Chain A
Amino acid sequence: MRIKKENITAILFFAVICGMFVGLLTYKDNDPINDFLTEYRTEVLPGTPILERLSEAIDIADDIVYDQTCFEEQYNTFYGLIQKLLGKHIITDAGYGEIYKTKYNQIIFKVPKKNFRVMRSLDAVEELKSKLDEAGIPFLYVQAPFKLSDDEQQLPANKTDYADYNVNLFLKGLDERGIKYLDLRPLLRDGEKTQNQLFFDTDHHWRIETAFEATGHIMDELNKDYGFTIDSKYKDLKNYNVETLKKCYLGSMGRRTGRFYSGLDDFTLITPKFNTSYTLYEHDYGAEKIYKGSFYKAILDKKYLVKKAPVDLNRYAVYHGDNEELIFNNNLVNNGKVMMIKDSFGVPVYSFLSLGVHEVRALDLRLFKDSVAKYAKENKPDVVILLYNGDTFNEEMFNFVMEP
C-alpha cells in the first residue's frame, strides 16, 4: 500500500492527541483524575439534578485539561511566535483578556477605570486608620507606580490604561481624609531612568533596582515623619553587591506570550556587602518555617539563584515572597518595628527595608484572613505601611477584616 500525505498527517495527528493524553496523565505534578474528583465533590452539591451534574462535570474536566496541558510553555511560545510574525501588538489571553506590547516593546495588561472600587478602598483605609489611631499606631500609605503612566501613550492608540487615573483619585481621597501617603511615582520617575526602565520588559513588576530605590524613599519618609533613625548606608547601592544575570528571566507576562514575542529580561540581584544576621519566620496556613543566618542565607530563596535555571522560573520571588505572614528579625539593628500590608510589589521592598530596622512584619491579604487592626494592636509596630501598586484596588486587598 502506498502511503499518502493524508495518511502521514493522520498518523501524526493521532500521535499528538495520544501524546497529549499521556502527558496529561503523567506530566510533572499533573493528577487530573484526583483533581477532577476533588473539584467535583467540592463544586457539585448532593442532590444536584443529573443534567446539571453532567454539565458541571464536563466544565470541571474541561478546566483541568486546560490547566494541566503538558507542554503549555511550548504552546505559549509558539502562540507568541505566530503573533510576532503577524506583527500584533494586542494579544488575546484567557487570563488577562488582552496583553499589549508597548511602544517600548514591553509586555503589559491595562487597568480599567475603578471609580467605585477606589471609593470603597478609601473607606476601608479610613476605617483601618481610625482603628490604628485608637491604638496610637501611625499609618502610612505608600503608592507604588504601575508600569504604564498617563504621561505618554504606550499602548496601541485605541487602548487606555487607567492605573494613574485610579491612583490620582485614591490619593486625592486620602488627602481629603487627612491620611498621609508617600507617592513613589514622581520620586521614581524623576530619576535618571525612564518609566519603562523601572520595570521588567516581560513582567508587570518593578525591577529589583527600582524596588531598592523605592525602599530608600520609604526609609527617608520613616526617618522624616515617623521618628525612625535608619542609617543612610542602607539605601546606598555602594554598600551592596550588584550582580546582573543577562537574558535569563521571563516574567509573568512573558510566560503568557513566550520568549519569542516578549524577549527576555536581565535579572539583577542586590545583596548587602555588610554583615547581617537574621531570624525569619514564615507563616502559611498555620504552619511555621524559621530561617536563620545572614541576609543571603536566611532571606534569599536559593532555587531562584541557579544561573542556568529555566527562564520561566519566577526569579522575582528570590527575596522571599507571597506568604501569609513574614516576620523579619534583624539581630544587628536594635530599633524600628514596621508592619507592612503589601501586594507583590512589596516582595523585594520588605526585605531591603528589614536591613535598616529591627523588625518587619509583612502581611498579604490574599492569604491573611484575620483582623489587621487586631494584629497591629497585638504587635505594636512603630508604623503600619500599606504598600500597593496602581492595579491593586480590589475588594480582597482592602478587606482588613475589622473586629467589631
Chain B
Amino acid sequence: MDKLKSKITIILMLIYNLSIIFVFKYLMFTMENVQYVTGLDYKIPKIVLPIGISFFTFKAISYVVDIYREKAEAQKNPLNAGLYITFFPQLLAGPIARYESFADQIQNRKVSFDDISAGVCRFLIGLSKKVLLANNLALVADKAFKLLGTDDLSLAMAWLGALCYTLQIYYDFSGYSDMAIGLGKMFGFHTEENFNYPYISKSTTEFWRRWHISLGSWFRDYVYIPLGGNRVGGKKRLFFNLFVVWALTGLWHGANWTFICWGLLYFVSISLEKVTGLDKMQSHVMLRHIYTMLLVMFGWVLFRAENITDALIYLKTMFIPGGAGLVDADAMVCSKEYLGYLFFGILFTRPFAKKLAKTKLAKLKLSQAFYVITLMVLFLACISYMLKSAYNPFIYFNF
C-alpha cells in the first residue's frame, strides 16, 4: 500500500473511531454547551455510555497506528484482532495495552504454572486494594461529597473526604489494574505496569510518570510525539502541545468541564515545573512532596465534584469553615471509624513491601509462609466483605 493510501486509511480510521467515542461520550456534552452558548432550543438525546468505550477505541487506534508505523505486523485473523481490542481483563479499567506490545503474545504466548501463580498473587493484591481499601474509604469520601452544599460539611470532614477520595481512587484504579494484569498473566499475557507508587512523587511531572502509566504513554506516543513533543522550535509550541495533551487527558476521563479543568490543572503545573525546573530540583524534597500531594488532592476534588461550582465550594470549605465549623461529629466519628483503613491506606502508598521483598528476611521460610497466609487471609476477608457489604462503587465506569 502506498503512503497516500495508508494516510487516507489512517485518517478514515481515526474519523471512524473518534466519531464512535464522540457520539457516545461527548455528543450530549457538546449539544448542551452549544445550547448554553447559542440559546437554541433543541432536544438533547440521552445516549447510554457503553462500558469500556474509551478503552475499546484507544486500543483500536493503537492497532491501526502501530501497523501503519510498522511496529507490528497486520493481524490476519480477525478473531486475534478482536481478542486484542476486547481482552476482557483490561476492558473496564485498563491498562491500555498497545498493540505493538500485545501482538507477539497473541501468537506466541505460553501459559505456565509460574505465570498462573504470579497472576493469582497479583489478582489477590488488586482485589484486596479494591474491596478492603477503596470500597471502605469510598464510604467516607461519598459522605463528605454528599454533605456538600448542605451547610453540614465541616472543614475537618472536607479534608477527610478529600484524603479518602485521594486514597480511594488510587486503590480502586490500581486495584483494577492489578486484577487485570493478574488475570492476563493467568492466561499467559504480560501487560505493562499501570501504577508505580504515584503518591510518593515529588512533582506533578513525576506523579504523571507514576500514575496511569499506560494512559500517559498512549497520549505521549499517539498525540504528544506526533505533534512534535519536546523537540519543537519554541516554548509556545511546546506549551501548545502540552495543552492539547492535557486537555485531551481531561476530556478522556469524561464529558464534563470538571474533567477538562482537572486536565488543565496538570497542564499548568507541569508547564510551570518545566519552566522553573522544579521537578528536577534535588533540594526541599519534603516540601516538593507536600506541594505535589496537595495539588493532586485538590485535583481529585475537582475530578470528583459534579460541577465546577461544587468543586469550588468544596475547596473553599477546606480552608474557610462554613456552618458546620472546624470539626463536627461526622469528622470525629468517621476519622475514628475509618482510622484502620486510613492507616493501611496511607501505609501502602509507600513501597515498603517492595523494599521488604528485596531483603534477606524475605527469603526466610517463615517469611514465605507469612506471605502465603497473608494473601489467603486477605482473599477470605475480601469474600467476607463482598458478602456483607453491598457497597461496591465502580468509579471508572465513565472511562
Contacts and interface: CB of A to CB of B under 8 A. Distances in A.
A158 B140 CA distance: 13
B372 A86 contact: no
B387 A9 contact: no
B388 A157 contact: no
Contacts of B117: 4, 6-7, 9-10
Given A5-B371, A9-B117, A157 B329 contact: yes
B121 A16 contact: no
A76 B384 CA distance: 6
Contact of A13 (B114, B124, B329, B337): B124
B372 A94 contact: no
Nearest to B367: A5
B206 interface: no
A5 B388 contact: no
A12 B121 CA distance: 11
Given A12-B376, A90-B337, A7 B113 contact: yes
Contact of A78 (B139, B339, B340, B380): B380
Contacts of B330: 158
B343 to A, nearest CB: 9
Interface in B17-73: none
Nearest to B386: A66
A72 B339 CA distance: 27
Contacts of B390: 92, 94
A9 B116 CA distance: 10
Interface residues of A, number: 35
A191 interface: no
Nearest to B341: A86
A8 interface: yes
A247 to B, nearest CB: 23
B385 interface: yes
A76 B332 CA distance: 27
Contacts of B372: 5, 8-9, 12
Contacts, number: 100
Contacts of A8: 372
Given A16-B379, A66-B387, A158-B329, A10 B116 contact: yes
Interface string B361-386: 00000001101100110011101110
Contacts of A12: 372, 376
A175 interface: no
A256 B389 CA distance: 11
B387 A92 contact: no
B346 interface: no
Interface string A1-21: 000111111101110100010
Contacts of A90: 333, 337
Contact of A92 (B113, B381, B388): B388
A231 B113 CA distance: 78
- Dominant SS at the B interface? helix
Interface in B316-330: 328-330
B371 A9 contact: yes
B133 interface: no
A91 B338 CA distance: 11
A87 B336 CA distance: 8
A157 B379 contact: no
A89 interface: yes
B140 to A, nearest CB: 11
A93 B333 contact: no
Contacts of A78: 380-381, 384
A92 B391 contact: yes
A79 B368 contact: no
B143 to A, nearest CB: 9
A100 B144 CA distance: 20
Contact of B121 (A9, A82, A158): A9
Given A10-B116, A92-B389, A75 B368 contact: no
Contacts of A159: 333
Given A4-B117, A82-B381, A9 B375 contact: yes
Nearest to A65: B387
A78 B380 CA distance: 8
- Sort A-B residue pairs by CB-CB distance and give the 6 closest, nearest first: A86-B340, A6-B117, A79-B384, A10-B117, A92-B389, A10-B120
Given A76-B387, A91-B388, 20 more contacts: A4-B114, A4-B117, A7-B113, A9-B121, A10-B119, A12-B372, A13-B124, A16-B376, A16-B380, A75-B380, A85-B340, A86-B339, A87-B339, A93-B389, A94-B389, A156-B333, A158-B330, A158-B333, A158-B334, A159-B333
